[in-house]
């Protein structure tokens, strides 16, 4: 299967970023994460871009997480710590973009896909879209402290606990009720609504939006605690290796708590 790509298209002062690996529901490969990081680094210094739209190719999935087969090479908790540190560089680069960002979510935003959507400023989705981080059921790993904070900020503590501990995917309606989504849009109306929202954004005061975004980012990250010990514990466990093996082989994992 293709390693996929993250590609861009500029339409005047709006950049459209597409996660393009539809055969795998746009599951992110290391290459795609690297491309996302490079794109965000370039956008950071482009004063002519007034809004950025993120969307999955194919119309059936935003991003179905990180490609799990890549975890087969992990042998210790230190691999997990290194992975989360690398992911945080990419996610914080997206989160710190000075212009407003819009995630257009169709189908699935799971795991890393949910984290990427949470880093965007605004989110719209089509009916039937599902949101989740089902790692308690599938992989036996964990999120970084930064990503737990993003999920809680986006969904609220109670809804985040329900999603994470019960390993349930939230519906678009639940995500809307929790404030994660700005609105639910019918598939036929998505392109029109994206154009309407980006047109509104590009006509607003860019400095006001930039400093507002940065103020909110600083508040979210204020007082962060180090979570490497938690990441090391989860990614270094036998359960995590069992979860990856079972996922790749399409079997039910047998958890042992060690």
pLDDT at 226: 82
Give percent of the chain with pLDDT exceeding 90: 92
- CB 255 within 8 Å of CB 167: no
3-state secondary structure of 53: strand
* Number of other residues whose CB lies within 10 A of the CB of residue 16: 18
The yes-or-no verdict on residue 204 having pLDDT over 90 is yes
Which CATH class for the 5-187 domain?
alpha beta
**What is the rounded average pLDDT of the residues 54-59?**
96
**What is the rounded average pLDDT of the residues 107-134?**
96
* Number of other residues whose CB lies within 10 A of the CB of residue 113: 28
The yes-or-no verdict on residue 210 having pLDDT over 80 is yes
The yes-or-no verdict on residue 11 having pLDDT over 90 is yes
The yes-or-no verdict on residue 206 having pLDDT over 80 is yes
Tally the C-alpha atoms within 13 A of residue 243's C-alpha that lie toward its C-beta. Answer: 23
Helix and strand counts by DSSP (H, E) for the chain: 11, 9
pLDDT at 1: 60
Q: Model confidence over 136-159: pLDDT tens digits?
A: 999 999 999 999 999 999 899 999
pLDDT at 237: 96
d(CA 252, CA 36): 32
d(CA 161, CA 150): 13
* Number of other residues whose CB lies within 10 A of the CB of residue 212: 13
Query: Phi and psi at residue 49, in whole multiples of 5°?
Result: -90, 125
> How many residues appear in the chain?
258
The yes-or-no verdict on residue 225 having pLDDT over 90 is no
Q: Identify which has the larger pLDDT, 63 or 1.
A: 63
Q: Model confidence over 20-31: pLDDT tens digits?
A: 999 999 999 999
pLDDT at 242: 95
**What is the rounded average pLDDT of the residues 195-223?**
94
Domain ranges in the chain? 5-187
Residue closest to 204 by CA, chosen among 99, 54, 47, 94 = 99
Average pLDDT in the chain: 94
What is the pTM assigned to this prediction? 0.94
pLDDT at 62: 97
Class of residue 255 by CB neighbours under 10 A (exposed 0-12, middle 13-18, buried 19+): middle
pLDDT at 221: 85
Q: Model confidence over 59-80: pLDDT tens digits?
A: 999 999 999 999 989 999 999 9
d(CA 239, CA 138): 10
- CB 26 within 8 Å of CB 64: yes
Give 145's contacts (C-beta < 8 A, 6+ positions apart).
224, 225, 226, 227, 230
């Amino acid at each position: 299967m293709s390693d996929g790509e993250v590609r861009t298209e500029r339409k005047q002062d709006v950049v459209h970023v597409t996660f393009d690996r539809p055969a795998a529901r746009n599951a992110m490969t290391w290459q795609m994460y690297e491309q996302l990081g490079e794109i965000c680094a370039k956008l950071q210094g482009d004063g002519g871009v007034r809004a950025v739209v993120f969307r999955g190719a194919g119309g059936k999935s935003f991003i179905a997480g990180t490609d799990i087969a890549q975890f087969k090479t992990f042998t210790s908790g230190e691999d997990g710590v290194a992975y989360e540190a690398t992911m945080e560089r990419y996610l914080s680069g997206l989160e710190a973009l000075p212009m407003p960002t819009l995630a257009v979510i169709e189908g699935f935003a799971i795991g890393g896909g949910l984290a990427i959507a949470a880093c965007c400023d605004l989110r719209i989705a089509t009916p039937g879209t599902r949101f989740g981080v089902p790692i308690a059921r599938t992989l036996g790993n964990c999120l970084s402290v930064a990503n737990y904070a993003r999920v809680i900020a986006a969904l609220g503590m109670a809804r985040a606990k329900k999603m994470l501990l019960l390993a349930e995917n939230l519906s678009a309606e639940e995500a809307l009720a929790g404030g994660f989504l700005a609105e639910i849009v019918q598939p036929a109306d998505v392109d029109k609504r994206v154009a309407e929202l980006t047109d509104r954004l590009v006509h607003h005061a860019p400095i006001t939006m930039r400093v507002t975004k940065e103020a909110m980012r600083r508040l979210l990250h204020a007082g962060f605690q180090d979570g490497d010990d938690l990441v090391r514990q989860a990614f270094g466990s036998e359960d995590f290796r069992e979860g990856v093996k079972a996922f790749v082989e399409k079997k039910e994992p047998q958890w042992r708590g060690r």
